[in-house]
Structure 1
């Protein structure tokens, strides 16, 4: 009897532990919007040679089914079978979300964005508090029977019928500098620069912290780090440079016991003839 009770207790404990890992909050709409915006912008970098990606909710649901601590394989396989074409999915893991997205890109999503044959996509995001990691899914679809015709002068079928009389001429375009959100914009418009691309994290120790700064923008520049307590006393200040898609680390004194610092990190650089703030991170930290 005692052996049976112990076995049942162990099973219950294991079930509770598994449930704690499987439980995950529903992704916030703003995080999904950020992921969609990044994928869409990266596709636009390939210019008119690739059609814009269309969002598909079935591909999004596949990402949610696969991007779990315990994947719902049966559900994802059923949805893949129902999709009228080919499916490729990439699940990235990291912290913060930008690191998980980068991991998905490194696993193959980044190269597939530029493949014009893949015309649909969906994204997913799940935060696992027990492991303090974000899981990002990027899923691509290639509908059956859909081909991407060649375009431009000199290609078979690439010629265009004359425009009807009175049709306005297409706008003149200008190329944008590298590192921005678009490869080109109509002449006279400002090229959109990256924003909120810098993330700051800390490695905590009793007397000294290591500050990690990651730049996810394609441009670099100068940064300032300023930590102040709620009483206004300066905790630490640093000025440093950061490269495009680069990172840096430095050490600062740990906050005093029972003291909270408000930390502001701002990075600015030159883009398309103007100074822009491509990174801004604010957070409250304490021991």
Structure 2
């Protein structure tokens, strides 16, 4: 499967055209691989793009302008090859449009994902535009990082640290839906990882602080991954509830369907974004590798 590489003096990064999926982040100083590498036993993905919906969508369908359309968990973008639109030594931009998909889908769109490097940081910039009168969607990332990040440590040696100057809420799930958009106050800024945390799927946190960030690290180790949300409201922390050797840091702009909201009408959903042909969307998440 064709892969694109970008690099600078600190990092070398690999991205597949299929799904514009991030597959490798290697430190040039230590030769350490930060990304989870599928082993045929655990998860078979590494960094799918979540678009045009995140998580579960009720009845695997939605209604727009009186017509029903099929849909599926986490959307369809991860299931298509993107076009390499532009590439330089330290950046690459990938494009998916409505003309490139086989879905029955009522909106015209252009979805771009740009990966760019600056020092020891990788910025993932999401851009969405439409020539339709409007477009309803959610968008997010799902990159999986290796845990442990260095030899001699275990999964349970790692912590997640959340930093925010605004209150942080933990959003609870009523599987497979989201219980509410408000969540409950979360004041535990640092917690230890263990797989039992994920028996109810993703841990999801949100904050209004544009400097909201999360860090994957071990007090016993040297390497870490920090995600800066840059105004994206929520971050998911996820792994499989077994012995899977990875943690996903998931920047989410939009949410799964709400447990108490039974509507299929896309215009009535409260968990997604709306843009018009005059108001394109852009956001970015920055991952720092130390």
TM range (shorter): under 0.3
Q: What TM-score do the two structures reach when normalised by structure 1?
A: 0.27
Q: What TM-score do the two structures reach when normalised by structure 2?
A: 0.27
Higher relative contact order, structure no. (Cα contacts within 8 Å, ≥ 6 residues apart): 2
| Structure with the higher fraction of residues in helix conformation | 1
| Structure with the higher fraction of residues in strand conformation | 2
